[in-house]
Amino acid sequence: MKKALIIVDVQNDFCDGGALAVPGANEVIPYINLLMEENQYDQIILTQDWHPANHKSFASNNNRKIGESIILNGVPQFMWPDHCVENTFGAEFHKDLNREKVTHIIQKGKNTEIDAYSGFQDNNHFMKTGLDDFLKYHEIQLVEIVGLALDYCVKFTCTDAAANGYITCLHFNGTRAVNVKPDNGKDAIFEMLQKGVTILG
């Protein structure tokens, strides 16, 4: 069975000191590096938030406060600080992430009008990123997922992987949650389990 490791959004803006730092984010990087060192994957894929500066998910572009919600193209949209703006330091992968074995990079969130948490598609399910096509082309059947953040991009990447028919495993030690609300991370785990995602210790 061919398997892939999908590393979600380990970018400077989500790590310590970043514009949208996930608590404990830097702790997952050594774990992810060890996974790549100790396991044999047929493909190792990075997803990368890659927003234009005028992205509609940014509070600054809507005259809103960070943490507010609006309806954007028919779906609720949390208002984030500006983050992972294309071609900026914040959008770059963290320097401590070992990228020697990476075979493919998927950029997401490039459409100004629609956010994209999942590595597979935007939040409105209008546009696919090409990740599913890439995995199917390489006959991947099992995906292991790590990265940032558990309660947003990791959760939606996991549930989309399961929905697309992949055996889907999340490495719990390889992710951290934003926890805008204290139980968001716990709720994300419960939702993933309900949708057929296996949680690895």
Instruction: Name the residues annotated as catalytic.
Output: 9, 108, 153
Bridge partners for 106 per DSSP: 47
Contact 139, 79 (CB under 8 A): no
| Spatial separation of the C-alpha atoms in residues 4 and 18, rounded to whole Å | 28
Question: Contact 123/115 with Cβ under 8 angstroms?
Answer: yes
CA distances from 11 to 7, 110, 138 (A): 10, 15, 26
**Cβ contact 106:45 at 8 Å:** yes
Helix (H) or strand (E) holding 134: helix 131-137
Handedness of CA 5, 36, 173, 15 (dihedral sign): negative
